[in-house]
Each structure stands twice: as structure tokens, then as C-alpha cells.
């Protein structure tokens, strides 16, 4: 998903494809541009955290490598790669995860959404927050494991030393 992939396509293929609304009817994202300040309360999302800022379709430029030609039955293309550019930030995502153009378009939007979030929110982006949380949990687990290990070690030492004391006592009693 590098920018160089975007440059690979010749200019005539570039087209600003407005997504027909019908296509997104069933999972239509809220329209918010990144510049809008939105409080977590305004964004629908999971209970524990706000959802990612949605992308504004009018700020996206999309390319499908369909090439020229009539399309439909008259063409058989397998190049279902989708290249999606977020114009305000210049971020580009190239998605060819699935064999379906439709699926790749949806995935590209998801990936771009996260990239845009990081771009504008940096440290405060959801992606970073998730990462920090995961890292934090990992550190906590490590710490607990270390503590458990040390406890065991101390217990062992105690037991060892009490053994020695008993040994000396029995020696003394001789």
C-alpha cells in the first residue's frame, strides 16, 4: 500500500468515482470531514470507545484498474485492485486483498480511515490508542509474571534456609 503504486497508473485511468449511494445503502457511513471537531458523544460506535472519524466521499479519489474498453460481458478483467486517495491529506491506499472489486473498495476505505485518523490525530488517534493499550496490557502481564517468579524464588529460598536450620539443629543435638 505504498504511494508508488498510485503513480504506476497512467493519467487517463484516473477518475473521480463518486460512489453511487445505493451501493452503500446498507452500511452507509456518517458524513464527516476530518476538519470537523466532533465529540465522542456525537459519534456512534462501540460502548467503550468512539468510532473512527468517517471519510467524506467527496474528498476521495478512486481508481479501479478496469482500463479502457466496454466493460461488462465484453471484458474479462481480473485486476480488481482498488487505489484510493484521500485528497486533503494525500494519503493513498492500494488494496488487492480479495478478488472482488466491491470488497476491495470497502476494505480500502477502512484502511484509509485508520490512516487518516493517525494522520490528523497522531498520538490521539484510535490506532495509537489501541496500540498503547495493547502494549500496556502486555507490560502488565510481564510485570505480573515477573512478580510471580520472584515470589516463587523467595519461597524456595525460605524453604532451603529452613532446611539448613533444621540440619544444624539436628547436628547440634548430636
Partner 1 sequence: MECWGRMLRAFLSGPGRRGATWGSAYSSWQPHRPVPGLLNATELVSHWTAIFEKEGIPEAQESSEYIVAHVLGAKTFQSLRPVLWTQPLTPWQLQCIQELSSCRLQRMPVQYILGEWDFQGLSLKMAPPVFIPRPETEELVEWVLEEVAPRPHAVGAQGGPLILEVGCGSGAISLSLLNQLPQSRVIAVDKGEASICLTRENAQRLRLQDRIWIVPLDVTSEGSWAHLLSWGPMDLVVSNPPYVFHQDMEQLAPEILSYEDPAALDGGEKGMDIITHILALAPRLLKDSGSIFLEVDPRHPELVGGWLQSRPDLSLHLVAVRKDFCGRPRFLHIRRSGPQRGCPVHAWPGPQPARVPG
Question: Which of 66, 68, 38 has the alpha carbon at shortest distance from 52?
Answer: 38
Q: 32, 43, 51, 81: which one contacts partner 1 (CB under 8 A)?
A: 81
Contact flag: residue 15 with partner 1 (CB under 8 A): yes
Q: 37, 41, 74, 171: which one contacts partner 1 (CB under 8 A)?
A: 74
Residue 52 CA to its chain's centroid (Å): 10
Question: Which of 48, 44, 46 has the alpha carbon at shortest distance from 31?
Answer: 44
Least CB distance from residue 30 to partner 1, whole Å?
A: 19
Contact flag: residue 112 with partner 1 (CB under 8 A): no
Least CB distance from residue 135 to partner 1, whole Å?
A: 22
Contact flag: residue 113 with partner 1 (CB under 8 A): no
Outline where DSSP puts E strands in the chain. Answer: 60-64, 82-86, 91-95
Angle 146-147-151 (CA atoms, 0-180°, nearest 5)? 120
Contact flag: residue 101 with partner 1 (CB under 8 A): yes
Q: How many residues bind partner 1 (CB under 8 A)?
A: 32
SS3 state at 13: helix
* Binding-site string for partner 1 from residue 50 to residue 69, where x marks contact by CB under 8 A and - marks none: --------------xxx---
Q: 2, 4, 11, 25: which one contacts partner 1 (CB under 8 A)?
A: 25
Q: 36, 100, 124, 164: which one contacts partner 1 (CB under 8 A)?
A: 100
How far apart CA 103 and CA 108 sit, in angstroms, is 8
Q: Which 8-state DSSP code applies to residue 68?
A: S
C-alpha cell at 21: 449511494
Contact flag: residue 99 with partner 1 (CB under 8 A): yes
Which listed range, 15-23, 44-52, 148-156, 158-166, lies at the site for partner 1 (CB under 8 A)?
15-23
8, exposed or middle or buried, with CB in 10 Å at 0-12, 13-18, 19+? exposed
Binding site for partner 1 (CB under 8 A): 15, 17, 20, 22-23, 25-26, 64-66, 70-81, 95-103, 105
Amino acid at each position: 500500500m505504498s504511494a508508488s503504486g498510485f503513480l504506476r497508473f497512467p493519467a487517463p485511468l484516473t477518475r473521480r468515482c463518486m460512489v453511487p449511494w445505493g451501493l452503500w445503502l446498507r452500511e452507509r457511513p456518517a458524513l464527516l470531514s476530518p476538519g470537523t471537531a466532533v465529540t465522542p458523544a456525537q459519534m456512534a460506535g462501540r460502548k467503550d470507545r468512539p468510532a473512527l472519524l468517517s471519510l467524506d466521499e467527496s474528498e476521495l479519489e478512486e481508481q479501479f484498474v478496469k482500463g479502457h474498453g466496454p466493460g461488462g460481458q465484453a471484458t474479462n478483467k481480473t485486476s480488481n485492485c482498488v487505489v484510493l486517495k484521500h485528497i486533503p491529506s494525500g494519503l493513498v491506499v492500494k488494496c488487492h486483498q480479495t478478488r472482488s472489486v466491491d470488497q476491495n473498495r470497502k476494505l480500502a476505505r477502512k484502511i484509509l480511515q485508520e490512516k487518516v485518523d493517525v494522520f490528523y490525530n497522531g498520538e490521539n488517534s484510535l490506532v495509537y490508542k489501541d496500540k498503547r493499550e495493547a502494549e500496556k496490557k502486555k507490560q502488565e502481564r510481564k510485570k505480573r509474571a515477573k512478580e510471580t517468579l520472584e515470589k516463587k524464588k523467595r519461597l524456595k529460598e525460605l524453604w532451603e534456609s529452613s532446611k539448613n536450620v533444621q540440619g544444624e539443629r539436628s547436628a547440634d543435638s548430636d
